[in-house]
């Protein structure tokens, strides 16, 4: 995708459904808003938008549909206020079923419009899955957060999501070369299968397109993913982030930073069951509030993030 998004832009994704991507996006919006930052939450779960419901808005007055259908020319016109201080919402649409798989033109138009939004933080909640839509929204962001739970299936899916994102990113770098099909399985220069690690990718690039080696290396060096492990129950669960970090470093040669873990909270489950009756944050446990504050605090203060936002 060509649209470059501003440094304040965070994409929150990670293959598996139901691991807490939306809740984490809400929790970060809650804290950043309370810390006096202007926040725009973007519901980019294009096939199953539900952030508005979590915010107690039954039917959003305006949504992404209005922009896609050109009833509104800018995204600013379709933002709605929420019960959270300093937090506005770009509600996901529901009128256009095909928007779950937007075409290239629609995707680029949406990303360009997000680029023009004015806020301290723009948090984009991405839907489940590792399809091109999810990957392109994730890759468009300068800051990428993966939410996972400690379950083995979630660890597996989080790794699969990050790997798919890295491969798609490299594939776009190599798309005008003889290695065009190397990373999507349609075939590399000598018809071999998809490389299983970035070391194998680099070996292919070295032997077939040596002039591209510096660009591929630079892309891998610059590729950073942040992680949150959600719904932990034990100290061992909290270590799930280390598993992903090690596997990503070993096979993908990228930097993974765990921003923390959030415990499973019966109060949050109860809040979810009565969705919308209470504002997010109000009924959550102390532990969830403390742990999500710590993640938000790192977003505000980590030097490499602040430097990008400067």
Ligand X SMILES: Nc1ncnc2c1ncn2[C@@H]1O[C@H](COP(=O)(O)OP(=O)(O)OP(=O)(O)O)[C@@H](O)[C@H]1O
User: Which positions touch Mg ion (CB under 5 A)?
Assistant: 21-22
Cβ–Cβ < 8 Å for 190, 203: no
Q: How far is CA 128 from CA 109, 132, 139, 224, 226, in A?
A: 22, 12, 15, 20, 17
163 Cβ contact partners less than 8 Å away, ≥ 6 residues apart: 248, 251, 252
Determine the distance from the C-alpha atom of residue 26 to the mean position of all C-alpha atoms in its chain, rounded to a whole number: 13
Whole-number minimum distance, CB 292 to Mg ion, in Å?
16
Q: By beta-carbon distance, which residue lies closest to ligand X?
A: 272
Stretch that binds ligand X, among 111-119, 136-144, 189-197, 263-271 (CB under 6 A): 263-271
Nearer to ligand X, 130 or 212 (CB): 130
Indicate which of Mg ion, ligand X, none lies near residue 264 (CB less than 5 to 8 Å, by partner kind).
ligand X
Indicate which of Mg ion, ligand X, none lies near residue 265 (CB less than 5 to 8 Å, by partner kind).
ligand X
- Helix, strand or coil for residue 104? helix
Draw the binding track, 205-244, toward ligand X (x: CB under 6 A; -: no contact). Answer: -------------------------xx-------------
Whole-number minimum distance, CB 129 to ligand X, in Å?
8
d(CA 178, CA 105): 26
Alpha helices, H only, 2-151: 21-34, 51-54, 64-68, 104-115, 132-140
Indicate which of ligand X, Mg ion, none lies near residue 230 (CB less than 5 to 8 Å, by partner kind).
ligand X
Whole-number minimum distance, CB 115 to Mg ion, in Å?
23
When asked if residue 23 is in the footprint of ligand X (CB under 6 A), the reply is yes
Whole-number minimum distance, CB 78 to ligand X, in Å?
21
Whole-number minimum distance, CB 61 to ligand X, in Å?
22
When asked if residue 188 is in the footprint of ligand X (CB under 6 A), the reply is no
13, 20, 188, 195: which one binds ligand X (CB under 6 A): 20
When asked if residue 252 is in the footprint of ligand X (CB under 6 A), the reply is no
List, as one string, the DSSP characters of 194-222. Answer: --SSHHHHHHHHHHH-GGGHHHHHHHHHH
Cβ–Cβ < 8 Å for 2, 111: no
Cβ–Cβ < 8 Å for 34, 26: no
H/E stretch holding 287:
helix 286-301
For helices 152-173 and 213-222, angle between their N-to-C axes, nearest 10 degrees:
140
Whole-number minimum distance, CB 90 to ligand X, in Å?
16
Whole-number minimum distance, CB 124 to ligand X, in Å?
12
Draw the binding track, 73-102, toward ligand X (x: CB under 6 A; -: no contact). Answer: ------------------------------
Q: How far is CA 301 from CA 84, 245, 278, 306, in A?
A: 22, 21, 30, 6
Interface residue list for ligand X (CB under 6 A): 17-23, 45, 127-128, 230-231, 262, 264-265, 268-269, 272, 288
């Amino acid at each position: 995708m060509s649209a470059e998004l501003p440094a304040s832009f965070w994409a929150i994704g990670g293959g598996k459904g139901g691991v807490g991507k939306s809740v984490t996006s809400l929790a970060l919006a809650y804290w950043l808003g309370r810390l006096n930052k202007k926040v725009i939450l973007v519901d980019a779960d294009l096939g199953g938008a539900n952030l508005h419901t979590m915010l107690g808005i039954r039917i959003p007055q305006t949504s992404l549909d209005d922009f896609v259908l050109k009833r509104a020319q800018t995204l600013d016109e379709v933002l709605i206020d929420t019960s959270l201080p300093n937090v506005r919402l770009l509600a996901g649409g529901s009128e256009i079923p095909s928007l779950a798989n937007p075409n290239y033109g629609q995707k680029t138009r949406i990303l360009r419009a997000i680029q023009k939004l004015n806020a301290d933080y723009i948090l984009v909640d991405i839907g489940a899955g590792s399809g091109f839509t999810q990957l392109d929204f994730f890759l468009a962001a300068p800051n990428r957060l993966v939410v996972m739970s400690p379950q083995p299936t979630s660890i597996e899916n989080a790794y699969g999501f990050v790997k798919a994102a890295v491969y798609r990113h490299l594939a776009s770098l190599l798309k005008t070369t003889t290695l065009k099909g190397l990373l999507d399985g349609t075939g590399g220069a000598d018809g071999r299968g998809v490389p299983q690690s970035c070391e194998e990718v680099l070996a292919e690039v070295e032997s077939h397109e040596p002039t591209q080696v510096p660009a591929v290396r630079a892309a891998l060096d610059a590729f950073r993913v942040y992680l949150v492990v959600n719904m932990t129950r034990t100290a061992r669960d909290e270590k799930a982030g280390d598993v992903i970090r090690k596997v990503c470093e070993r096979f993908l040669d990228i930097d993974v930073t765990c921003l923390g873990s959030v415990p499973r909270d019966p109060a949050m489950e109860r809040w979810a069951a009565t969705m919308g009756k209470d504002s997010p944050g109000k009924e959550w446990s102390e532990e969830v509030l403390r742990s999500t504050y710590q993640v938000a605090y790192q977003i505000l203060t980590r030097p490499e993030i602040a430097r990008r936002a400067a």
